[in-house]
C-alpha cells in the first residue's frame, strides 16, 4: 500500500485523505487541533451547537458534484435541510426599505429579477446565460474529463466579477443586487475573476441546503472513511519542521501537546500539505523553495476576515428562517462591505438561523440560535495581533463590545426588540479566525484570486519537492464545492489523471 502523509485535517486534508484511502492508499493525517475538521468544526455553548464556518451547502443535493463525491466515499446520508425553493436568499436594503426574495432554479431566478426590473428583462436573461456558460467552461465543476488551462477559456472568463455584471446590466441598483453573493467568495471589485462569481452563483442557483445539527458530521464521516480503510487521523499533532534533501521530503517533525518532538520518515511516502502555503514554507529546510517562489507566496493578498456573533435566543422568541439573509445599509455598497469605518461599520452583513433536529412533538417554527457574519479586514485588530485567546487585554474587550452593539443596533432596525429576545451572546473577531483555523490574517477564504494577475494568485498542486503536493482552499476554489474538487485534483496527481473522475461518472 502506498503511504500518504497529509499535513492538516481540515476540509481539504480530509477529503483528499478519504479519496486516497478509498483508492487503497495508507493515509496518515496530522492535525494540530484537538478535533479534525477545520471549518467543519462546531462548538457548544449553553447546550446549543454552533457551526464555525460551513453554513451553506451547494452541490450536496442528489446528483450534485459534491453529492457524487460523497456517495463514492459512501457517506452521503447526512442530515440536511433544503432551503425554501421560493426564497433561497433574501436581500434587504435598510434605507429604501426594500427586500428581495431570491428563488432557486435558473428559470425562477431569471423570471424573478425580470419582474423586479422589467426594463432589464432581456439583459437579465443574457446575464444568467453567461453565468452558466462560464461555469460550463470549468470541466472539474461538473466532474468531467478535461483540461482547465486559463488560456483555453473565453475572454469573459478572466474579466472581473463586477465587469461581467456591468457588461450586461446597466441599472446600478440591479448591479448591486446581483453581486450580493460576493461576500461568499471573498469578492473584491476589479480583482475577483468572473469565473469565480459564475461558479458560486450557479452552484447556489441550482439549489442549496444546510446541515441539520451542525457540519461536524461531515468531518466525522470523512475521518471514518480514512480509518475504515486502515488509515490514521492524529489530532493534537502539530507539525514543526519538514526536512528536505535533494528535492525530496525525507522527514516530518511533529509535537503532540507539550510533549517532546517526534519524527516521521517520509522518504518513501508522498506528502500533501492542506495548510496555507505561507505557513508551510517556513517549516521547510532552508533553500527548499526558490527565492522567487517564496516572494511570490508572500506577495499574494489574503481574503478579508469577519466579526461574528453567536446568539442563543430565549425559547419561542425568534422565528426559524429557512434561508440565508443578507442586509445592507443601501445600494451601491456591496463591493465595499469588507471595509471598516468606525462610524458606518457594518455596511452589510449576513445572518442565518441554522436548523437543529426537531424533537418529537415539538415545532421548528422558532429558532434557538442565530449566526451573524460581518466582514472585517484584519488590519482592524492589528493592535492585538501578538496576543493570545483569553489574554488580549481590557482595551480589546471594550473594543469588541462596541462592535457587538453596532451589529445589534443594525438588527434592531430589521427586528425591533431584537435585543430582548437574546438569552446568551458570544462574539469572535478576525483574531479568533486566525487562531482557530491557523489562517494568516484570519482570511475567510485563504488566498485572494486576482484576475489582474492570475499567474500570481494561481498556486499549482505540484511543488519543487518531488513528493510534496498541495491541496485545500488556497489552491483553487474555497468552500464546500471548491475544496472537494481540488481534493480530486490532488489525489489524481498521485494516482493518475482521471483515475477518480472516471469512477465518479459511473455514479
Over 90: is that where the pLDDT of 425 sits?
Answer: yes
pLDDT tens track for 201-245: 999 999 999 999 899 999 999 999 999 999 999 999 999 999 999
Strand locations in 166-320 (E): 208-211, 232-234, 237-245, 248-256, 261-265, 270-273, 305-313
For residue 146, what pLDDT band results from cuts at 50, 70 and 90? Answer: confident
The predicted pLDDT at position 350 comes to: 96
DSSP H or E stretch at residue 190: none
pLDDT tens track for 259-316: 789 999 999 999 999 999 999 999 999 999 999 889 988 888 999 999 999 999 999 9
Burial per residue of 2-20, b for 16 or more beta-carbon CB atoms within 10 angstroms, e otherwise: ebbbbbbbbbbbbbbbbbb
DSSP string, 467-502: TEEE-STTTS--HHHHHHHHHHHHHHHHH-TTHHHH
User: Which residues pair with residue 261 across a beta bridge?
Assistant: 255
For residues 497 and 489, the answer to whether their CB atoms sit within 8 Å is no
The predicted pLDDT at position 85 comes to: 96
Over 80: is that where the pLDDT of 151 sits?
Answer: no
Q: Is 124 helix (H, G, I), strand (E, B) or coil?
A: helix
Residues 373 and 392: their CA atoms lie apart, in Å, by 22
Over 70: is that where the pLDDT of 37 sits?
Answer: yes
Residues 111 and 389: their CA atoms lie apart, in Å, by 49
Q: What is the mean pLDDT of residues 465-482?
A: 90
Task: Give the range among 334-338, 399-403, 480-484 with minimum mean pLDDT.
Answer: 480-484
The predicted pLDDT at position 362 comes to: 54
Residues 329 and 97: their CA atoms lie apart, in Å, by 10
For residues 251 and 263, the answer to whether their CB atoms sit within 8 Å is yes
For residue 363, what pLDDT band results from cuts at 50, 70 and 90? Answer: low
The model's pTM is 0.94
Q: What is the mean pLDDT of residues 108-115?
A: 98
Amino acid at each position: 500500500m502506498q503511504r500518504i502523509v497529509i499535513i492538516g485535517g481540515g476540509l481539504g486534508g480530509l477529503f483528499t485523505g478519504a479519496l486516497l484511502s478509498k483508492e487503497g492508499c495508507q493515509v496518515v493525517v496530522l492535525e494540530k487541533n484537538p478535533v479534525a475538521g477545520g471549518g467543519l468544526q462546531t462548538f457548544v455553548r449553553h447546550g446549543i451547537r454552533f457551526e464555525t464556518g460551513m453554513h451553506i451547502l451547494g452541490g450536496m443535493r442528489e446528483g450534485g458534484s459534491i453529492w457524487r463525491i460523497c456517495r463514492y466515499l459512501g457517506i452521503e446520508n447526512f442530515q440536511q435541510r433544503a432551503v425554501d425553493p421560493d426564497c433561497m436568499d433574501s436581500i434587504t436594503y435598510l434605507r429604501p426599505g426594500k427586500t428581495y426574495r431570491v428563488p432557486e432554479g435558473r428559470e425562477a431566478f431569471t423570471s424573478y429579477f425580470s419582474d423586479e426590473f422589467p426594463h432589464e428583462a432581456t439583459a437579465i436573461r443574457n446575464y444568467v446565460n453567461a453565468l452558466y456558460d462560464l461555469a460550463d467552461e470549468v470541466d472539474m465543476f461538473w466532474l468531467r474529463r478535461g483540461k482547465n488551462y486559463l488560456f483555453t477559456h473565453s475572454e469573459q472568463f478572466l474579466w472581473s466579477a463586477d465587469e461581467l455584471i456591468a457588461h450586461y446590466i446597466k441599472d446600478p441598483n440591479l448591479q448591486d443586487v446581483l453581486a450580493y453573493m460576493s461576500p461568499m467568495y471573498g469578492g473584491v471589485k476589479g480583482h475577483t475573476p468572473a469565473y469565480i462569481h459564475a461558479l458560486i452563483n450557479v452552484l447556489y442557483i441550482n439549489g442549496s441546503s444546510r446541515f441539520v445539527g451542525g457540519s461536524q458530521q461531515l468531518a466525522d464521516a470523512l475521518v471514518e472513511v480514512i480509518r475504515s480503510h486502515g488509515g490514521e487521523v492524529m489530532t493534537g499533532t502539530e507539525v514543526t519542521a519538514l526536512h528536505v534533501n535533494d528535492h525530496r521530503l525525507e522527514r516530518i517533525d511533529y509535537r503532540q501537546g507539550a510533549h517532546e518532538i517526534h519524527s516521521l520518515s517520509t522518504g518513501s511516502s508522498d506528502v500533501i500539505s492542506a495548510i496555507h502555503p505561507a505557513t508551510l514554507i517556513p517549516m521547510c529546510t532552508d533553500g527548499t523553495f526558490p527565492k522567487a517562489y517564496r516572494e511570490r507566496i508572500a506577495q499574494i493578498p489574503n481574503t478579508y476576515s469577519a466579526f461574528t456573533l453567536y446568539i442563543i435566543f430565549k425559547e419561542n422568541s425568534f422565528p426559524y428562517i429557512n434561508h440565508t439573509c443578507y442586509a445592507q445599509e443601501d445600494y451601491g455598497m456591496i463591493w465595499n462591505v469588507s471595509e471598516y469605518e468606525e462610524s458606518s461599520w457594518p455596511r452589510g452583513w449576513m445572518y442565518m438561523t441554522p436548523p437543529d433536529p426537531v424533537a418529537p412533538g415539538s415545532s421548528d417554527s422558532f429558532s434557538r440560535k442565530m449566526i451573524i457574519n460581518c466582514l472585517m479586514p484584519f488590519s482592524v485588530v492589528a493592535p492585538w495581533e501578538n496576543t493570545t485567546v483569553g489574554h488580549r487585554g481590557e482595551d480589546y474587550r471594550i473594543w469588541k463590545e462596541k462592535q457587538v452593539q453596532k451589529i445589534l443596533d443594525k438588527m434592531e432596525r430589521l427586528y425591533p426588540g431584537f435585543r430582548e429576545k437574546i438569552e446568551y451572546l458570544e462574539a469572535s473577531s478576525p483574531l479568533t479566525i486566525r487562531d482557530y483555523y491557523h489562517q494568516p490574517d484570519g482570511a475567510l477564504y485563504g488566498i485572494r484570486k486576482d484576475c489582474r494577475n492570475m499567474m500570481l494568485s494561481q498556486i499549482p498542486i505540484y511543488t519543487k519537492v518531488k513528493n510534496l503536493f498541495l491541496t485545500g482552499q488556497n489552491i483553487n476554489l474555497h468552500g464546500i464545492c471548491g475544496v472537494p474538487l481540488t481534493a480530486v485534483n490532488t489525489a489524481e496527481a498521485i494516482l493518475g489523471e482521471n483515475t477518480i473522475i472516471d469512477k465518479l461518472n459511473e455514479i
